[in-house]
């Protein structure tokens, strides 16, 4: 006999079973435990590339600085090579301060693909505590030249023309500390650090993104800190925002070794950066840059002159390395790193 009590018990069992099914069907969110908060609660920038900027400080109205523009800036650089009918171009330029900037302009058009490749073809993940690991539990590091030449980096019908080290890693955990999205799959989320995201509709945006934001990326790689934000250059000499500059680390990214990041930025160590911008006729572009003998602020200003609105730094010093069609961009060898940002074009 179905009593009121039995009916209530049956209803409770059904609800519990439904909740269990939902929990089983949900993947564990990727989050770095050192930030001590769930992904859903981490600060969101949104894919518009917006974030809380210098909380408590008034930001002057944007005043667009003098910008040479991409074509004009490239005209003053040495064109080294190109691919995809000029959609991807490799340049080198001497900077006013004596450093050298090597950069690749990637116009996000049909036939051009930007992706993340990992050492040994391994898959980035987070462990049960949320710390950054490789999914197989191993340790994977390779120089970029080896990654770019490996079979796992190949894409059917496409040629890998450029690859550049970008993300950070620690000695004990060799996988990338930042957010990672590969082919629309979110492998790791770190909203405490800035990330460059390429969307399925070929937009390029930079910001601090949470798991929900990253779900809108086709590819994403995290590093930081921001060196150019809303056309303002991050500067160690700035103590408040101005039309031209912002204080260093304007988005308040969580770096345990922030003093080291400042030292690198202020010195002439090898450096890596990625900038994003919009083309005058519509569409977006990326600039993938490495430099020798340049100050961080010099690189940020060069990216702004190209027309980039935002840019973030990547791993640097002995990790700085890149290859163009398999050949190292710089003569010195790069140390083994966890992953690289790669550029592919449709094979001829």
Dump the DSSP string for 181-217.
EETTEEEE--TTS-EEEE-TTS-EEEE---HHHHTT-
> Is pLDDT of 111 > 50?
yes
Question: Is the pTM higher than 0.75?
Answer: yes
| Rounded Cα–Cα distance for residues 273 and 104 (Å) | 11
> Is pLDDT of 27 > 50?
no
Q: Which two tokens stand for residue 50?
A: 């917006």
Q: What is the mean pLDDT of the chain?
A: 83
Higher pLDDT, 11 or 189: 189
What number is the average pLDDT over the span 221-236?
95
> Is pLDDT of 68 > 80?
no
Looking at residue 51, its pLDDT comes to 42
Q: What separation in angstroms does the CA of 148 have from each of 84, 121, 151?
A: 18, 11, 8
Which among 145, 174, 187 has a CA at the least distance from the CA of 162?
Answer: 145
- The contacts of residue 326 (CB under 8 Å, 6+ apart) are 145, 148, 149
> Is pLDDT of 21 > 50?
no
| Rounded Cα–Cα distance for residues 184 and 153 (Å) | 17
Strands 245-247 and 226-229 turn out to be: unpaired
pLDDT digits (tens, 9 = 90+) for 83-96: 999 999 999 999 99
Strands 180-182 and 185-188 turn out to be: antiparallel
Which among 78, 92, 89, 75 has a CA at the least distance from the CA of 329?
Answer: 92
> Is pLDDT of 173 > 50?
yes
What number is the average pLDDT over the span 23-46?
38
For the chain, state the CA radius of gyration: 22
What number is the average pLDDT over the span 8-28?
40
| Rounded Cα–Cα distance for residues 225 and 52 (Å) | 15
Higher pLDDT, 6 or 344: 344
> Is pLDDT of 58 > 60?
no
Looking at residue 177, its pLDDT comes to 83
| Rounded Cα–Cα distance for residues 297 and 276 (Å) | 16
pLDDT digits (tens, 9 = 90+) for 271-326: 999 999 999 888 999 999 999 999 999 999 999 999 999 999 998 888 899 999 99
State the pLDDT confidence band at 4, using cuts at 50, 70 and 90: low
| Rounded Cα–Cα distance for residues 234 and 244 (Å) | 9
Q: What separation in angstroms does the CA of 280 have from each of 69, 110, 254, 285?
A: 9, 18, 34, 11
Which among 29, 26, 256, 32 has a CA at the least distance from the CA of 133?
Answer: 32
Which among 347, 345, 313 has a CA at the least distance from the CA of 90?
Answer: 345
Higher pLDDT, 107 or 258: 107
């Amino acid at each position: 006999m179905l009593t009121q009590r039995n009916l209530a018990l049956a209803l409770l069992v059904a609800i519990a079973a439904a909740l269990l099914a939902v929990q089983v069907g949900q993947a564990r969110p990727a989050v770095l435990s050192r930030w001590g908060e769930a992904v859903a609660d981490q600060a969101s920038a949104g894919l518009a590339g917006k974030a809380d900027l210098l909380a408590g400080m008034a930001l002057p109205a944007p005043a667009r600085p003098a910008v040479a523009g991409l074509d004009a800036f490239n005209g003053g650089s040495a064109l080294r090579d190109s691919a995809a009918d000029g959609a991807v171009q490799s340049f080198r330029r001497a900077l006013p301060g004596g450093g050298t900037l090597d950069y690749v302009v990637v116009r996000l058009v049909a036939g051009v693909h930007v992706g993340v490749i990992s050492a040994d073809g391994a898959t980035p993940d987070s462990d049960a505590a949320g710390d950054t690991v490789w999914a197989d539990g191993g340790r994977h590091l390779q120089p970029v030249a080896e990654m770019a030449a490996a079979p796992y980096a190949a894409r059917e019908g496409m040629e890998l023309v450029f690859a550049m080290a970008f993300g950070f890693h620690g000695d004990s955990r060799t996988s990338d500390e930042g957010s990672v999205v590969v082919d629309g799959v979110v492998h790791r989320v770190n909203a405490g650090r800035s990330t460059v995201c390429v969307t399925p509709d070929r937009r390029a945006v930079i910001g601090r993104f949470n798991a929900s934001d990253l779900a809108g990326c086709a590819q994403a790689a995290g590093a930081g800190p921001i060196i150019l934000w809303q056309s303002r250059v991050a500067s160690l000499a700035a103590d408040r925002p101005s039309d031209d500059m912002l204080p260093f680390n304007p988005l308040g990214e969580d770096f345990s070794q922030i003093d080291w990041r400042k030292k690198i930025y202020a010195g002439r160590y090898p450096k890596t950066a990625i900038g994003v911008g919009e083309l005058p006729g519509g569409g977006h572009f990326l600039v993938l840059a490495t430099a020798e003998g340049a100050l961080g602020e010099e690189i940020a200003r060069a990216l702004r002159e190209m027309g980039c609105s935002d840019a973030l730094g990547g791993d640097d010093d002995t990790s700085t390395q890149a290859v163009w069609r398999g050949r190292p961009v710089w003569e010195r060898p790069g140390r083994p790193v966890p992953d690289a940002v790669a550029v592919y074009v449709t094979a001829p």
